[in-house]
Amino acid sequence: MIAEIGHFSLILALGLAVCLAILPAVGVYYRRVNLMQLSGSLSAGLFVFVSISMVCLGNAFLNDDFSVAYVARNSNSALPVQYKISAIWGAHEGSFLLWSLVMAGWTLAVSVFSRNLTLDMRARVLSVMGILSVGFLLFILLTSNPFDRNLPVFPQDGSDLNPLLQDFGLIVHPPMLYMGYVGFSVPFAFAIATLTSGKLDSAWARWSRPWTNLAWAFLTVGITLGSWWAYYELGWGGWWFWDAVENASFMPWLVGTALVHSLAATEKRGVFKSWTVLLAIFAFSFSLLGAFLVRSGVLTSVHAFAVDPERGVFILAFLVLVIGGSLLLYAFKATGIKSTAGFEWTSRETMILVNNMLLIVAAGVVLLGTIYPLIYEALTGGKKISVGPPYFNTIFVPIVMLLFVVMAVSPSSRWRKTPLEKIVRQQLVSLFASLVMVTTLIYFFASKIEWVAVLVVSVAAWILINLLRDLFGRVRNKVDKLTALFRQPLSYYGMLLGHLGIAVSITGVCLTVYYSEEKDIRMAAGDLVQLSGYEVLFKGVKKVKGPNYVADQGELVISRDGEHVVTLHPEKRFYQTGGNMMTEADMDAGLFRDLYVALGEPIGESAWAVRVQYKPFVRWVWFGGLLIALGGSVTLLDRRYRTAKRKVAASATEVGVTAQKTTTQKTVLGEVR
């Protein structure tokens, strides 16, 4: 019964989404204030009903209702409670419900926090978001209903959640990722709304910017978590595989990064308006494209998702309507846009333009690599190939290295025009300083000098030096230096944190790649192996029993110079319900190195294949990611976005809600006249 309530409220939500898509737009067209005002309550209703639906699905999981087919496939009565909850989004149907819930959440957030928009603009934006919700909800109801029943014969017990997904990382990773993907619908909706209204000014950049930054920050956290999860859960110590699903999340991130930068330029300087609108469309398009690639099954992936060509056709049609439609709109409506401000080639505007070009090329490279197997298959009539890390590493890495150089120099640049001679000398000095510093550090602390690593880490250090110099330059001439530090706008600190995060991540990536050591060996109880100065002693394997699995648990004692460092217990788990074998690696994490051990297959009577890895600085990869996300979200708290909100809040409390409504009505009517 409860599952049917969930299904029913999903249908109601679809109805509300249809109203949200149509009514405010009609209101805009016929200049009816009451219709435009419906957008707020419709958004709230949409969110409420999708939430009810989500709660109903959660209820089915918690109560082991295996008559619901989705629950029977992805849960089991022995599954621990926290995984029953995360199993809600453990497979296609439920995860798409989560996607729709997030969509409804963003819609509600826009309707609540955009009171300072004109009523007309708000109605347009929410109407676009309503259209997107219609698409998503239709998709669920028509092709992937999580409430389908297994009646009349239903299994006594479920076939369990994929053990790979029985993990903390999966509880938090998809919600974060979806917040990012779907969050890009907000700048997208703003872009479409502005295009239809024909008033493309800097104001829309100011409205979209906090939303874009927030969505982008979520996406960053999502990708970081995904990489971290792959590292410790997939059991072979890698953290990025250039897998189709990873690429699907990485492409919108690259485009989103470009958007974050060009929005800043549009807001501050009024340049690149048309380009920024296009980027806003692109960022969301790539999110949808990612969803298509992951869920349609046109590509094979290590993250095997529920694949179904029927769903693929639906998403493809949706893609064509949404993206094709908006690009068509763009082609017709963006003609009149002219940038008001000029700039010279030595300016910060140019820097941002170069940044945008490089990021878009990088996203294009990833896209090409991801869909190349499809193109190849089509051209050769069915031969299958896979494009792997070699392609991405050889093409992607040089592009981003170029990007990092631009990034290192950028804080010294000025809007409009930068005095070049001074900067060049300054930069050469700081580059040289960072090279010397990094070479010295690596010489003293590392076993060998890898020149590529030296070069890359130097660029990271160069980025850092320039950020610090810029911060110093801003307070140098002030009397009270501490107050001056606090006076800097938060969006400036957001930039600092974001760029610092990139520097930290590159350092991590580069040092892990060049200085990791890895051994795959056969070990019997009592065997000893040396690895990067550590002695690893294999004590043997014993059987242990978990809630829904049995496991062989190895014991490895790791010591350094005779001193005990840590004892690790990697497991080889067998999940009886699904019949899955799982490698559960164990690791000792540290700021400067991880020790990572995984149990392979048993060899003969008492020996096991064991993989031991020493991975320096691997934590920096994710730590940097978190810093980037922090940088993105700090910008939201910037004074100029806050004051706008406070003003509205103040007027609402002073004059009362009805009065405020009449004023907004007046402004709208004023505009209409």
| From 428, 581, 589, 672, residue interacting with another protein (rule: CB under 8 A) | 581
Please, which residue, 336 or 670, has the CB nearer to another protein?
336
Axis-axis angle for helices 119-143, 185-197 (nearest 10): 130
The DSSP 8-state label assigned to residue 530 in this structure reads: E
| From 11, 112, 320, 341, residue interacting with another protein (rule: CB under 8 A) | 320
Q: Using the rule CB under 8 A, is 424 a contact of another protein? A: no
Q: Cα–Cα distance between 112 and 662 in angstroms, integer?
A: 18
Give me 472's structure tokens.
């110093």
Q: Cα–Cα distance between 407 and 467 in angstroms, integer?
A: 10
Q: Using the rule CB under 8 A, is 302 a contact of another protein? A: no
DSSP string of 482-512?
A: HHHHHHS-HHHHHHHHHHHHHHHHHHHHHHH
| From 576, 653, 662, 663, residue interacting with another protein (rule: CB under 8 A) | 576
| In the complex, least distance from residue 31 CB atom to another protein, rounded to whole angstroms | 23
| From 198, 382, 562, 604, residue interacting with another protein (rule: CB under 8 A) | 382
Q: Using the rule CB under 8 A, is 43 a contact of another protein? A: no
| In the complex, least distance from residue 275 CB atom to another protein, rounded to whole angstroms | 11
Half-sphere exposure of 662 (CA within 13 A, CB side): 4
Please, which residue, 297 or 590, has the CB nearer to another protein?
297
Q: Give whole-number Cα distances, 513 to 239, 398, 507, 617, 660, in Å.
A: 11, 16, 10, 10, 58
| In the complex, least distance from residue 65 CB atom to another protein, rounded to whole angstroms | 14
Q: Using the rule CB under 8 A, is 272 a contact of another protein? A: no
| In the complex, least distance from residue 309 CB atom to another protein, rounded to whole angstroms | 6
Sign of CA dihedral 249, 255, 260, 261: positive
Please, which residue, 44 or 319, has the CB nearer to another protein?
319
Please, which residue, 30 or 332, has the CB nearer to another protein?
332
Q: Where are the beta strands (DSSP E) in 546-659?
A: 549-560, 563-568, 571-575, 580-584, 586-588, 593-603, 607-616
Give me 627's structure tokens.
């810093």
Q: Choose the stretch contacting another protein; rule: CB under 8 A; options: 40-48, 196-204, 277-285, 508-516.
A: 277-285
Q: Among residue numbers 148 through 167, which ones bind another protein (CB under 8 A)?
A: 153, 155-159
Please, which residue, 104 or 299, has the CB nearer to another protein?
299
Q: Using the rule CB under 8 A, is 324 a contact of another protein? A: yes
| In the complex, least distance from residue 388 CB atom to another protein, rounded to whole angstroms | 16
Q: Among residue numbers 90 through 119, which ones bind another protein (CB under 8 A)?
A: none
Q: Using the rule CB under 8 A, is 547 a contact of another protein? A: no
Among 582, 589, 521, 590, residue whose Cα is nearest residue 553: 582
Q: Using the rule CB under 8 A, is 357 a contact of another protein? A: no
Q: Cα–Cα distance between 531 and 558 in angstroms, integer?
A: 10
Q: Using the rule CB under 8 A, is 335 a contact of another protein? A: yes
Find out whether 14 and 137 touch, Cβ atoms under 8 Å.
yes
Give me 38's structure tokens.
């419906």
Half-sphere exposure of 360 (CA within 13 A, CB side): 18
Q: Choose the stretch contacting another protein; rule: CB under 8 A; options: 368-376, 404-412, 414-422, 457-465.
A: 368-376
Residues at the interface with another protein (CB under 8 A): 72, 153, 155-159, 274, 278, 281-282, 285, 289, 292, 296-300, 307, 309, 312-313, 316, 319-320, 323-324, 327-328, 330-332, 334-335, 367, 371, 374-375, 377-378, 382, 574, 576-581
